[in-house]
Amino acid sequence: MSNAALQPRLSAGRIAIYATLLLACAVYLIPLIVMLLTSFKTPDDIRTGNLLTLPESFTVIGWVKAWAAVNGYFWNSVKIVVPAVLISTLLGALNGYVLSMWRFRGSQLFFGLLLFGCFLPFQVILLPASFTLGKLGLANTTTGLVLVHVVYGLAFTTLFFRNFYVSVPEALVRAARLDGAGFFTIFGRILLPMSVPIIMVCLIWQFTQIWNDFLFGVVFASGDTQPVTVALNNLVNTSTGAKQYNVDMAAAMIAGLPTLVVYVLAGKYFLRGLTSGAVKG
């Protein structure tokens, strides 16, 4: 609701608005700044200075060490994230299409079951899921891990697409059906082309979730196929030995960089997608 009726003018009210917004910016940015500053400090510097002191001697050794520790795992994450995101988005789109345009007895119940499912704490499913994967012969394979991500990402992707398609006039689909268009034709010709915003939302959301996942990665991947979050944990969370906070912070930034970049570059589409109906529950 850009308020066209109110011409922006520099009043006390507007100053207060800007001040509040800028203050909020500072609060949101502080942790990032602290992490950045810390990653460029030497361990001695970290011990003696405080959070916001500038590094006494600016060093990239933290970044170099962190990159050496996690770079091999970066590619693993990509191999897991790309198929998992694409498959779960596609399935979510089809599900959303059926649940909004082709309802049948029980479809609403299914949607309810699915929504409830997304509240299931994932720790609960670790053992039965690994048992199932073992039976399927997929234990400790990247395929297995992708499957797990698809299964547990489904609730949200379906929710996104269903809510988006619900706002599409059903008359459009009915007319196409009378013209003899089939299930997939309607989906491919009519709905998919208008779904770009919601596809963006879904891709960004799934990318963030799966890239940041630690629990499934550590349990369902093994050794050389572990994702970058597990490598980060191995670096940061070691129980014995000297702690190097500069390396920890640098590694955290490296591991978080892809999602950060996606948010900064694609944030616009994210908002546009949300605007176009994802949130019209």
Partner 1 sequence: MKAIHRLALAVSLALPLSALAGEVEVLHWWTSGGEKRAADTLRRLVEEKGHTWKDFAVAGGGGEAAMTVLKTRAVSGNPPSAAQIKGPDIQEWGELGLLANLDNVAEQGKWEELLPKQVAKVMQYDDSYVAVPVNVHRVNWLWINPEVFEKAGAKPPKTLDEFWAAADKLKAAGFIPVAHGGQPWQDGTVFEDFVLSILGPEDYHKAFVELDEEVLTSDKMVQAFAALKKLREYIDPDAAGRDWNRATGMVIDGKAGMQIMGDWAKSEWTAANKVAGKDYLCVPFPGTQGSFAYNIDSLAMFKLNDEENRKAQEDLARTVLEPEFQQVFNQNKGSIPVRLDQDMSEFDSCAQQSMADFKEAAKGEGLQPSLAHGMAASSYVQGAVFDVVTNFFNDPEADPKQAAKQLAAAIQAVQ
Partner 2 sequence: MSSVAVPTPKAVHRSSMDWLQAWLPKLVLAPSVVIVLVGFYAYILWTLLLSFTNSRFMPSYKWVGLDQYLRLMENDRWWVASQNLLVFGGLFIAISLLIGVVLAVLLDQRIRQEGAIRTIYLYPMALSMIVTGTAWQWLLNPGLGLDKLLRDWGWEGFRFDWLVDPDRVVYCLVIAAVWQASGFVMALFLAGLRGVDQSIIRAAQVDGASLPTIYLRIVLPSLRPVFFSALMILAHIAIKSFDLVAAMTAGGPGYASDLPAMFMYTHTFTRGQMGLGAASAMLMLAAILAILVPYLYSELRTKRHE
61, 78, 86, 94: residue in contact with partner 2 (rule CB under 8 A): 94
233, 259, 263, 266: residue in contact with partner 1 (rule CB under 8 A): 233
196 binds partner 2 (CB under 8 A): no
250 binds partner 1 (CB under 8 A): no
Q: What is the C-alpha to C-alpha distance for residues 45 and 48, in angstroms, rounded to an integer?
A: 5
What does the block give as tokens for 249? 């912070």
42, 212, 222, 259: residue in contact with partner 1 (rule CB under 8 A): 222
Q: Which residues does 186 contact at the CB level (< 8 Å), separation at least 6?
A: 101, 173, 176, 177
227 binds partner 2 (CB under 8 A): no
Q: Hey, which residues between 143 and 172 contact partner 2 (CB under 8 A)? A: 151-152, 154, 158-159, 163, 166
Do the beta carbons of residue 251 and residue 236 sit within 8 Å? yes
91 binds partner 2 (CB under 8 A): yes
42 binds partner 1 (CB under 8 A): no
147 binds partner 1 (CB under 8 A): no
Q: Considering beta carbons, is residue 203 or 255 the nearer one to partner 2?
A: 255
Q: What is the C-alpha to C-alpha distance for residues 74 and 59, in angstroms, rounded to an integer?
A: 23
235 binds partner 1 (CB under 8 A): yes
| Partner from partner 1, partner 2, none binding residue 186, C-beta < 5-8 Å depending on class | none
Q: What is the C-alpha to C-alpha distance for residues 21 and 249, in angstroms, rounded to an integer?
A: 27
What does the block give as tokens for 73? 């795992």
What does the block give as tokens for 52? 């916001």
How far is CA 173 from its chain centroid? 31
| Partner from partner 1, partner 2, none binding residue 18, C-beta < 5-8 Å depending on class | partner 2
Do the beta carbons of residue 251 and residue 66 sit within 8 Å? yes
Closest C-alpha among 155, 156, 163, 142 to residue 84: 142
Q: Hey, which residues between 85 and 114 contact partner 1 (CB under 8 A)? A: none
130 binds partner 2 (CB under 8 A): no
129 binds partner 2 (CB under 8 A): yes
Encode 185-219 in three state secondary structure. Answer: HHHHHHHHHHCHHHHHHHHHHHHHHHHHCCHHHHH
To partner 1, the closest distance from the beta carbon of 187 in angstroms equals 37
Q: What is the C-alpha to C-alpha distance for residues 101 and 85, in angstroms, rounded to an integer?
A: 24
How far is CA 131 from its chain centroid? 27
126 binds partner 1 (CB under 8 A): yes
Site size toward partner 1 (CB under 8 A) is 26
99 binds partner 2 (CB under 8 A): yes
Q: Considering beta carbons, is residue 27 or 224 the nearer one to partner 2?
A: 27
Quick check: helix, strand or coil at residue 226?
coil
212 binds partner 1 (CB under 8 A): no
